[in-house]
Each structure stands twice: as structure tokens, then as C-alpha cells.
């Protein structure tokens, strides 16, 4: 934003998922990169749904994709556009190619290639080297010799014989492909019923739309690298200039094969459901295949946008490392300003049905009637122990159920120590006088009391723990309780002391 030289207002990028599945992490990262690039350059982010395959398309999945993007913080400026609603545009473009001779009508049966040579050679990979069936890259129909006259034709692109097609890739550099390796790909499917033609194929759709939407940078998965020359050819046939391409490496599973359900969750919305913070997920995703250059790990949205550049994108496929994702989450759980964390925790507690209205920020006094920042402090204290959001529910459930484990031995030891009652009294005062209520403050106060009395802080902590609930509690809960409600702690301490005096 500050460097006007880097600001190119005309930048227009898009994320173009096809609704044949949920928003997977690979797609999410592609979307994120596009978004970061757009925001970095003050450009426009477009969302386009590529639903030209009626067979596989599942309209109900679109909302999930949009929700996933929203959770990630990827907001789009234009769209969503649906390719299924723009068929006339594609048909016109295909006919234009037909007219200028860069495409032809193909009468071959639809399954000629799919069920033919290629499929077989894959199925039985025991072919002797060099003798495997070769794939046909030129269709005989292109010379006006329909193989099946009478059938409804599809429109195929007439790929040049000989020569090469080159293009610049912001990540992979200059690329050059031999035209003879490119098949006469289909532009428009043949029509069904009384339709003249069917729906557009991928290659035609992307190119026509990217031209129409004035997309300047195509940032997408590296699995499209080999498709790019076809598209460059199409751009030319349509009389347009190709945009800048930027292919980003793929995301693999732990076994280095393409990430799939087999590797666990690949649906972004599942990570949301598991309780990851979007900030953490985004930071992790951004660093998968991209680096700001140095040793930096923590990049909040602002830094991400400021530092993102295509030059920093790696060319190597990356393995999705869940442990690191979790680490990012614990870090954000601790580093996020408490105001930003609170709403997330609130949602989580609502989800688990443990939420109580009086906990709301800024609401009336807490359970003890005195403590206004009660909820905030509790969350703040608890967060170093939390890995995922739902852990907050676990803690809340444990605390409010009063179902603590009881350790008779600890209880016994406490009541037998003659120094304890006085110490507890001092501790209660110290805690009651605290100005700041965080873990360290409580810790220091406790230690100060212990040190002054010449006892181990641990002993005092344990004693207080026992006193507070009149029984041994699950250890980690102690700190929570101390901060949870200072008034209550003090009250309980006094009660406990009174009880011990009688005994």
C-alpha cells in the first residue's frame, strides 16, 4: 500500500473451482495465493464456478466452497459466476474458431479415446518398452473425413502441425512445448437430443472467461502446466493476448502421493469443524509452497498481503504436515489478541452447549458477582493449554461439572501440615490484592508468599488447591480456579480455613 511502484491497479485474478467436491486444501491454497496477490496489488478477486460437466457437477457443493473461502478470509470482489449459465458465450467462441479455421467438426464417437489406446496402455503397464500403443494426437476428421458420418459432431481445436508454443510462467519461467505433443482437444461437446452442440469443455471455458473477465494473472495448480500451451493456442485463435501464468506446486500427503481422503481431512471445512483458527490455518497454508524469503514463520494477514509475491513461490510439491498446522494453531491461540480470540471461544462453547449468557463480554458481573472481565481472564489463562478450540469445551465441562478426581492421600497430607492454614490466609490476601490477573501474576504472588514463609511454592500451591474445593482436584484446574474468580477463591479459602480450625 505504501509502495506505489508495486501497485498495479489493473490486476485481476480469479479462483475457479469446479463443484465436483468440497473445497480441499490444495484449492484453498490456490484461492489464498490469488487473493493475496490481488490484495497486494490492489487488484480484483473473481470467483468463478466451473460447472460445465453436468455429469459430475454437484450444485449443493457450491455453498460449502463459498463457506470455506469465507472462513479462510478470502473475500471475492466479483462473482460467483457460473459457467453453466454462460454456454452461449462458449458456443460463439467455438464457432468463431470454426469460422477462422482454427477448429473443425469432429464426428468421432465420444469414447474413441477414452476407452481406446491410452486406457489400455495404462491398464496393462507390462508392455515391452517402446512398443506400447501411441496416443493419436491428430484426428482424421480435421481433414474433412468424418469417421462416422451422420453422428452429431463435437468441435475440436486444430492444433498446428510442427512448431512450438511458448509462454512465460511467473513461477516456472519460460516454457516451450512442441505442438506435435498436443492433441486436437475438444472445445465443445457434441449436442444431445435436438441441441446442435453441448456444453463447453474446460479449455474453452477458462480461456473464454479469462478473456471476458479481463483476467491478468492466472494463478493455479501446477497440474495445469501441461494444459497451458493449449490455452495459449486458444487465446491466439480468439485474437487475444495470453495473461501471465503462475503455476503453484501441488500439495501431497505424508506418503508423497497426491493428497486425498486417504490421508485424512482434505476438506477445509473439516478443519474449521475440528476447531482450527482461520488465522492459523491461513498462515500455515501460505507457507506451504511459498516463503517470504527469510526465517519468518508468523505472518498475520497484513504481513502476508504485504510480503506476498509470485517470486517467492516454490516449484517443488509440498507435503501437508498436520503436526505443524497444529503447532501454528497453538501459537495463534496464545498470540492472538484476546479480543480476537474471545468470539472464537464463545462460538465453540455455544456449539457444545456450555455457553452461559452471563459470560458475554461487557455483560453483567460474573458468577461471583464481582468480576467483570471474568470470561476474558479465564480464556486468557486457559489458552496455553489448548491445542484446538474444542479443548475449551473440555475444560469448561470439567470445571463446571464438579466432577474432580479426589486424591485422599493429598488431602491427608494437607490437613496434617501445621503451617498450611496461616499460609493459605496469606495467599488469599495476596491474591485478593492483585491488580493484574494473569497466570504470571498469580504465580508470582504465590511464590512470594511461599518464599517469605520459607516453604516450597509447590507445597503451597498444592495446599491451596486442596483447600479451594475442600478436596483434591484435577491439578491443571487449580490455576484456572485461581483466576476464574478471585472473590470466590478467597471465600473458599476462608471457609476451608474455618473448617480446619474446627478440626
Partner RNA sequence: GGCGCUAUGGUGCAACGGUUAGCACGCGGCCCUUUCAAGGCCGAAAUACGGGUUCGAUUCCCGUUAGCGCUACCA
Tell me which residues in 221-250 interact with RNA (CB under 7 A): 222-227, 249-250
Are 377 and 483 in contact, with CB atoms under 8 Å apart? Answer: yes
Residue of 240, 241, 242, 232 lying closest to 164 (CA atoms): 232
Among 34, 199, 216, 376, binds RNA (CB under 7 A): 199
Please, where are the H alpha helices in 73-152? 87-99, 111-114, 117-123
CB of 443 to RNA, least distance (A): 9
Residues in 60-89 that interact with RNA by CB under 7 A: none
CB of 24 to RNA, least distance (A): 12
CB of 370 to RNA, least distance (A): 25
For residues 421-433, one letter each, b for 16 or more C-beta atoms within 10 angstroms of the residue's C-beta and e for the rest, the string is: bebbebbbebbee
Among 81, 177, 308, 359, binds RNA (CB under 7 A): 177
CB of 364 to RNA, least distance (A): 30
Q: Which is nearer to RNA, 109 or 367 (CB)?
A: 109
Told to check if 426 binds RNA by CB under 7 A, we report no
Q: Which is nearer to RNA, 309 or 361 (CB)?
A: 309
Among 121, 352, 487, 500, binds RNA (CB under 7 A): 121
Residues in 126-155 that interact with RNA by CB under 7 A: 127, 129-130, 132, 134-135, 151-154
CB of 502 to RNA, least distance (A): 23
Instruction: Write out the catalytic residue numbers.
Output: 261
- For 348-359, the DSSP string reads HHHHTT---GGG
Are 190 and 197 in contact, with CB atoms under 8 Å apart? Answer: yes
Q: d(Cα 369, Cα 174) in Å, to the nearest integer? A: 69
Q: Which is nearer to RNA, 292 or 367 (CB)?
A: 292
Please give the grid coordinates belonging to residue 446.
Answer: 504465590
Among 35, 290, 359, 374, binds RNA (CB under 7 A): 290
Q: Which is nearer to RNA, 316 or 401 (CB)?
A: 316
Q: d(Cα 493, Cα 497) in Å, to the nearest integer? A: 6
Stretch that binds RNA, among 32-40, 86-94, 179-187, 341-349 (CB under 7 A): 179-187
Among 8, 85, 100, 334, binds RNA (CB under 7 A): 334
Q: d(Cα 342, Cα 361) in Å, to the nearest integer? A: 8
Q: Which is nearer to RNA, 60 or 502 (CB)?
A: 60
3-state SS, residue 241? coil
Told to check if 183 binds RNA by CB under 7 A, we report yes
Among 6, 7, 56, 451, binds RNA (CB under 7 A): 56
Are 205 and 211 in contact, with CB atoms under 8 Å apart? Answer: no
Told to check if 461 binds RNA by CB under 7 A, we report yes
The number of helices, as runs of H, and strands, as runs of E, in the chain is 20, 13
Told to check if 194 binds RNA by CB under 7 A, we report no
- For 135-170, the DSSP string reads PP-S-GGGGT--SSTTSPPEEEE-PPSSSEEEEEET
Told to check if 53 binds RNA by CB under 7 A, we report yes
Told to check if 285 binds RNA by CB under 7 A, we report no
Residues in 248-277 that interact with RNA by CB under 7 A: 249-250, 252, 256-258
Handedness of CA 29, 33, 39, 40 (dihedral sign): positive
Stretch that binds RNA, among 73-81, 321-329, 424-432, 484-492 (CB under 7 A): 321-329
- In this structure, the number of other CB atoms found within 10 A of the CB of residue 415 comes to 16
CB of 53 to RNA, least distance (A): 3
Residues in 364-403 that interact with RNA by CB under 7 A: 384-387
Told to check if 110 binds RNA by CB under 7 A, we report yes
For residues 4-22, one letter each, b for 16 or more C-beta atoms within 10 angstroms of the residue's C-beta and e for the rest, the string is: eeeeeeebbbbbbbbbebb
Are 185 and 203 in contact, with CB atoms under 8 Å apart? Answer: yes
CB of 204 to RNA, least distance (A): 9
Told to check if 436 binds RNA by CB under 7 A, we report no
Are 47 and 83 in contact, with CB atoms under 8 Å apart? Answer: no
Amino acid at each position: 500500500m505504501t509502495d506505489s511502484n508495486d501497485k498495479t491497479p489493473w490486476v485481476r485474478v480469479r479462483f475457479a473451482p469446479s463443484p465436483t467436491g468440497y473445497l480441499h486444501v490444495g484449492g484453498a491454497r490456490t484461492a489464498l495465493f490469488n487473493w493475496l496477490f490481488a490484495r497486494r496489488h490492489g487488484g480484483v478477486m473473481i470467483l468463478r464456478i466451473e460447472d460445465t460437466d453436468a455429469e459430475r457437477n454437484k450444485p449443493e457443493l457450491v455453498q460449502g466452497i463459498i463457506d470455506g473461502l469465507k472462513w479462510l478470509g478470502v473475500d471475492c470482489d466479483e462473482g460467483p459466476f457460473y459457467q453453466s449459465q454462460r454456454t452461449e458465450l462458449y458456443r460463439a467462441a467455438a464457432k468463431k474458431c470454426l469460422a477462422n479455421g482454427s477448429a473443425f467438426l469432429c464426428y468421432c464417437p465420444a469414447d474413441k479415446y477414452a476407452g481406446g489406446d491410452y486406457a489400455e496402455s495404462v491398464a496393462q503397464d507390462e508392455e515391452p518398452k517402446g512398443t506400447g500403443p501411441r496416443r493419436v494426437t491428430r484426428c482424421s476428421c480435421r481433414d474433412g473425413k468424418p469417421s462416422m458420418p451422420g453422428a452429431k459432431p463435437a468441435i475440436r481445436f486444430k492444433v498446428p502441425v510442427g512448431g512450438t508454443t511458448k509462454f512465460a510462467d511467473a513461477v516456472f519461467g519460460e516454457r516451450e512445448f512442441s505442438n506435435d505433443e498436443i492433441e486436437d482437444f475438444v472445445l465443445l461437446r457434441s449436442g444431445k437430443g435436438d441441441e446442435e452442440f453441448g456444453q463447453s469443455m474446460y479449455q474453452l471455458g477458462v480461456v473464454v472467461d479469462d478473456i471476458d473477465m479481463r483476467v491478468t494473472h492466472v494463478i493455479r495448480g501446477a497440474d495445469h502446466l501441461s494444459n497451458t500451451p493449449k490455452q495459449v493456442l486458444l487465446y491466439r485463435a480468439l485474437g487475444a493476448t495470453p495473461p501471465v501464468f503462475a503455476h503453484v506446486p501441488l500439495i501431497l500427503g505424508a506418503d508423497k502421493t497426491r493428497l486425498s481422503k486417504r490421508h485424512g481431512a482434505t476438506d477445509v471445512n473439516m478443519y474449521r469443524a475440528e476447531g482450527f483458527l482461520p488465522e492459523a490455518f491461513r498462515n500455515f497454508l501460505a507457507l506451504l509452497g511459498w516463503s517470504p524469503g527469510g526465517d519468518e514463520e508468523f505472518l498475520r494477514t497484513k504481513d502476508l498481503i504485504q510480503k506476498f509475491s509470485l517470486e517467492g513461490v516454490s516449484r517443488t510439491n509440498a507435503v501437508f504436515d498436520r503436526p505443524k498446522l497444529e503447532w501454528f494453531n497453538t501459537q495463534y491461540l496464545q498470540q492472538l489478541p484476546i479480543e480476537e480470540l474471545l468470539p472464537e471461544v464463545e462460538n465453540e462453547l455455544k456449539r457444545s452447549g456450555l455457553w452461559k449468557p452471563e459470560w458475554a463480554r461487557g455483560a453483567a458481573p460474573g458468577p461471583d458477582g464481582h468480576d467483570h472481565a471474568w470470561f476474558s481472564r479465564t480464556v486468557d489463562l486457559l489458552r496455553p493449554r489448548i491445542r484446538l478450540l474444542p479443548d475449551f469445551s473440555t475444560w469448561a465441562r470439567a470445571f463446571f461439572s464438579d466432577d474432580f478426581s479426589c486424591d485422599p492421600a493429598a488431602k491427608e497430607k494437607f490437613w496434617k501440615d501445621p503451617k498450611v492454614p496461616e499460609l493459605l490466609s496469606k495467599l488469599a490476601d495476596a491474591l485478593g490484592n492483585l491488580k493484574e490477573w494473569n497466570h504470571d501474576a498469580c504465580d508470582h504472588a504465590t511464590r512470594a508468599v511461599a518464599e517469605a514463609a520459607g516453604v516450597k511454592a509447590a507445597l503451597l500451591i498444592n495446599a491451596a488447591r486442596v483447600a479451594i474445593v475442600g478436596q483434591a482436584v484435577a491439578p491443571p484446574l487449580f490455576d484456572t480456579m485461581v483466576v476464574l474468580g478471585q472473590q470466590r477463591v478467597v471465600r473458599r479459602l476462608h471457609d476451608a480455613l474455618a473448617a480446619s480450625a474446627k478440626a
